[in-house]
Amino acid sequence: MVKMKKPATVASKGKRETNRRKLHFREEAMRHLMELSEDRIDYDQAALIAKLDCFACELHDCPNPKSVNCRDNPYCIKRLGLEKFEKLIKIELANNDKAKEDQRRRDVTSQPCGLVNTGNFCYVNSFLQVWFNEPKFKQIIFDWRPSEEYAKPEFPKMDVQLLMDGLQNLFYTLETTPFFDTNKNSLVINALRLTNEQQDAQEFTLMLFDSLDRNLLTHPNGELIRQRLKSLYTGRIRSTLSCDCGMTSPSDTICTSFTLVIEGHTTLNEALDAFFCVETLTDCRCSSCNKIGKVEKSTKASQLPPVLLLQLNRYNIDSNGRNHKIKTPLSYPRELTFEPNHLISGSNMEKKVYELFAVMIHEGDHTDSGHYYDLVRNPYTSKWFKYNDEKVEEMSKPPGLDVKDSKKPIKKSNATPDVKACYGLVYREKSDAGPDPPILPPNEITEKWAQATESDFVGQTNDNLDKTQKRLNEVMQRHGKLDSLFTNLQADTNTHQLKEVAFLPTSLMTDILTKEYDRASAIPEEEEKPKESPSSQDNGETNKTVANPTEMVDDVPTKKRRGRPATVRIAQQQVATQLQEHSYKICSHGKIFIDEILFGHVKGVSRQHAEVLLNKYAISVVQRSPDGVEKKRALFTGNDLCLDCVKLLHREGLFNESLENTVKLANRIVKETKSRCSTLVHSTVSPDNFYVSKKALQNFKKQAESEMQHQSKVHASGGILRFVPGAVEKLANGNGAVLVKAVTSNRGRGRKKATTTIRNPPPPTHSRSTRYATRHQAAELEQAVSEVMTDLLDSCSMQQNDAPVSTDREQSESVTDDVEMNSSTISEDSCDGTNQETMNQEESCDIKPQTNGVETTENGNVNSKMNHQSSEDMDVEEEDEKNGQTDQADGTEGEEENEKRSDSPCSSTEGGEEVEFNSELRCSHGSINVDQFRYAISPEEWEELSRYFEKCFIVKVTDDLCESCYEADQVAHHNKKDLIETLQQLQKKYGELIRMLEKRQVSESEYGTKYRFGICSIFINRMRNAFRSRTSVSTVPAICQQCLLCQHSRPYLPLQGTNTDSQGTAPPLTAQVVPLTEEEWNNFVDDWQSLTDNPLPVIPIVINKGGTIEGSCVDCFDSYLENVDTQRYIFQNQKIYIKIQNLTDEPIVETTKTKTTRRARKQGLFDMKVSSSDTIGTVKIALYKETGITPNDQILHIRLGGKLLEASMNELSLFEAKILPDNSDDPLVLIVQHSYSPSKYDEQRERAPERGFIDTALAH
């Protein structure tokens, strides 16, 4: 066998290049054929063209594997979907490892526990995670004890016992839980009644301490806790006023934190110096000497607390009153000592040394939004951790600087978040001895907490590990089965025995792998199904949700098989019921079409194992002829390659090669108008020449290609080879119940029988219930199919033969059906769907049972859905849907599979129509027409042009034209000439009047006196258009006046210029009455009657005084105005404008001041795109999403001072509420009852600082 050079792999060029690559393979084969003469094309050359000499593909097993299936290798069945299992296994291995990792308990001595952020509560987590790492504060919380004597205060006061119990529970959990995070911070959030708003972390800290200080006084056990807390964080500041006259006035105040201004400072020491510096009070008058400007204020610390809070003021206010965040890096020491000038003399506090143990960081560019996280030092291990809500990780480098380096500024280029975004610094008094381990609350308090946590941990981790291990085993088992199946399916390319190579649709293999992958991915959903309860087991009941589907079908026992795992077998059954029909084309010679191989629509596989694959998934092979006759047959093999189609491909190549030269000839003829035009050279042209139409020459290439496509389509019209999941038939009986038919095997007796299971769905209902019923039927149907398919897939032997395929009716009668329904036997005739009562019931409830690949027709017959589609549509839909889904995970794979077969210009999947060349010159009488432009060509040129077409309309220059067409053309020419002359006369007399009527202004006093008649405005517009383009007009417009009359034959439309709606707005363009003088009216009527043959009488419209029309229909006029007014409120996807007005703003009153520009009118307005069918409730929800104002807080008016759109009107449409689009001049008004903040969990949204914690328990 002569070897052809193997085609190089075409590089991927994107999804839009897919069809181009397909054509590349076909064109390459065509070029190879063109090098041969047709008599040299034999079967060996045909096999080379189909690339059946290729070897097994190795491009997917190399170190850098190809990511898509090889279209140019008919034996490559890699990358069709099995690779997704490998990714799924990796995912499941990772999940299994994670489950094992989750089983690992948290080391409470080395790994801190995180806090879950359930909303905008990062500021709460920041406080809790900082103070949990302060040993004294933690011990105070652990020492708290509730009291039965405590009386719960009335709302809205704080329940301090609830808060302290929650803190104790939370701190105990953080100390002992085996989990790596907890959500028990919700105990604190709920006790404080915190809203889902962003708040300031420092403000929260101060308010919480202040609230505890006040509310612990009301608790029987609160005083000692209060004193211990207060001594932990409070100090004293002494402020002294002094004057030159010798006056001094000291005063001490309690200080919880030092608020330091950092603007203009780069180190913490500078900020502290500024805080304790002497300040001159220029506007203060001395109480002793009564002088102004001589008083100075000095601030010094008189008592420093054990825990020191330093709040860094990171915002300033510009001249417009807007806040700006200061991002200046601030260097701070890890150990802090106070200078003597910071302390009062003799306090002996200069020896105190504070060590840094927490840094609060604000992340974000704005002062009113962002996110808080902390850097905290563990007091027992001295390790630093980054606490970011539930994520806690150890830091490699501690924040802050040494004492010496902290006095130097930090360059912005070297600044880290802990120095440029630090918002708070927390120091505690340094001690040589480390802190003591905390003493936990007694067991009677913590026992239930510990038991609940341990139970949750053990149960959750064990369940997760069991589930992930089970899922991993099932996925690997399924992958192993498929891998073995497709490995055996690979054709033996070493021997190239083409009779052992069978062709399967690529889409079929992709569909199988896709459905298998979908089933594997859906395993977790199956695991969630409820298990058998002990009570049902004791009573002998079967839980049908989880029972083995092979054990029982509607309480009818079947024989249970052994051997292979039940899970894989059941999954395979379910996949078999979900497969859709696939096919590929057969040529007109009854063999496989070569384009199917070249385009990669089929793959060559091992014939023996292809039959195994079809048997496993219960797929039958059926050949359908072009006239619809079907018969079973064996798979096509390599010996079934069509040699005639290969020769046709050779002729097509020759056609394409010569077509370009012929197209050039056609274009040259078109350009030679003067020497070839029939009207110019008719007398000099040679009598043996031919006429060809201009259109035929201009469209020559397109027509020639269409003709070639048609010829290819004829050769490819041999039908299709269908791959049908034929073991299951799905019907609907007369009561809407679902019937499942499946062929099962009786191995002992060696015969088959068909069992039919009937399941009764819910009673027929409508709307939502109807959809529920359909889903219920589908669920029961799938379960029944799984039950009856078990024996079939184990024993079904699908023998291929050439006998015609019987119809559904014949198949159902060829076996014995055992049918059970409500303990009674029914005949087969009752299920064939011909019962008229059945049809009526189905139509009344609008339920049409449908299943995968099968549909039930109105007469009850069951047909494959694909039978109602052309083979082209079937290929496109199946390949796009399945292959696109299969390759979705790999990104680039879809470009090889998600394509349409009809994109090839010569593809037989959607060929062109049959073309008759030069048919443009044929008239309706079958002779030669008159009006088509034509060229004279020589006999040689005609031969060159016509050889591409089987049918040609031959016109010689000596042939006579059609007499009827010639006479009609002469009459039309004469009439056209007369019409143009008539229009010229009318334009000369009425042209100016017609132009003036459009702008005619008429006063009310002129109606009925000067202007007594009216004419239709549509007639005036038609005449204006006729004057502009006389040559394109077929007739002179008539004065009919019918547009102005209603159904009662009375005028009802208004006068021109007076037509307005209830709002004073002009309506859409419609017919109107144009006023005329009596002379103008008479001239119009007389001239049109004389110049035109008007078959309709001219109806005069008489205008009375005051502008009323004589005999007008009042009812129709009112309906017209109502309709015009209604049309204004119908719109689609247009803007409406809303003005947001707060009650605290200026009073809402109408103003007479108008804004002069459209842009100015829209300033301060909120707009949204809606349609008139949208409801008021939809608008309110959209307002909530965009502004954060809840619908309950929205008071929406149609306009300023207009109607209120109450909650009861939420179901009204905008049309019913009479809301106009583009209403910037008169917008809707949204009144906000109070200040608001967003309800979404979005830490970049702005908060409402003016309210702070006023709505929480901290304020009471």
Residue 371 annotated as catalytic: yes
Rounded alpha-carbon distances, angstroms, from residue 1125 to 72, 1064, 1128, 1137, 1247: 66, 10, 6, 20, 44
CA distance 791 to 805: 23
1238 — phi, psi (to 5°)? -65, 145
Cis peptide upstream of residue 763 (ω within 30 degrees of 0):
no
CA distance 850 to 855: 5
Contact between residue 569 and residue 581 where contact means Cβ atoms under 8 Å apart:
no
CA distance 966 to 974: 13
Pairing of strands 728-732, 738-746: antiparallel
Residue type at position 1047 = Q
How many C-beta neighbours within 10 Å does residue 685 have? 19
CA distance 856 to 862: 5
Contact between residue 480 and residue 472 where contact means Cβ atoms under 8 Å apart:
no
Name the DSSP letter for residue 35: T
The catalytic position among 32, 219, 371, 582 is: 371
Ordered strands of the 1165-1170 beta sheet: 1165-1170, 1134-1142, 1228-1232, 1194-1197, 1204-1205
Residue 122 annotated as catalytic: yes
Which residues neighbour 234 within 8 Å (Cβ) at sequence distance 6 or greater? 254, 255, 256, 305
Among 281, 215, 220, residue whose Cα is nearest residue 249: 281
Q: Would you state the structure tokens that stand for residue 214, as one six-digit string?
A: 């006040």
Which residues neighbour 1176 within 8 Å (Cβ) at sequence distance 6 or greater? 1196, 1205, 1209, 1210, 1211, 1212, 1213, 1214, 1217
The CA-CA-CA angle for residues 518, 520, 522, to 5°, reads: 70
Give me the residues paired with residue 1231 across strands: 1141, 1195
Across 576-684, the runs of DSSP E, i.e. the strands, are 582-585, 602-606, 620-624, 630-632
Alpha-carbon 992 to chain mean position? 59
Q: What is the helix (H) or strand (E) element at residue 1010, kind and residue range?
A: none
How buried is residue 150: exposed, middle or buried, by Cβ count under 10 Å (0-12/13-18/19+)? middle
Query: How many residues would you count in the chain?
Result: 1260
Among 754, 752, 756, residue whose Cα is nearest residue 730: 756
Residue type at position 270 = E
Give me the residues paired with residue 391 across strands: 388
CA distance 146 to 442: 12
Three-class secondary structure of residue 194 per DSSP:
coil
DSSP string, 958-985: TSPPPHHHHHHHHHHHHHHHHHHHHHHH
Q: Would you state the structure tokens that stand for residue 22, as one six-digit string?
A: 């397909």
Three-class secondary structure of residue 236 per DSSP:
strand
The catalytic position among 122, 286, 422, 962 is: 122
The CA-CA-CA angle for residues 750, 753, 755, to 5°, reads: 145
Q: Would you state the structure tokens that stand for residue 379, as one six-digit string?
A: 């007091």
Neighbour-count burial for 476-494, b at 16+ CB within 10 Å, e otherwise: bbbbebbeebbeebbbebe
Give me the residues paired with residue 1196 across strands: 1205, 1230
Across 149-306, the runs of DSSP E, i.e. the strands, are 181-182, 235-242, 248-255, 258-261, 279-281, 295-303
Contact between residue 853 and residue 580 where contact means Cβ atoms under 8 Å apart:
yes
Contact between residue 710 and residue 912 where contact means Cβ atoms under 8 Å apart:
yes
Residue type at position 65 = P
Looking at the annotation, which residues are catalytic? 122, 371
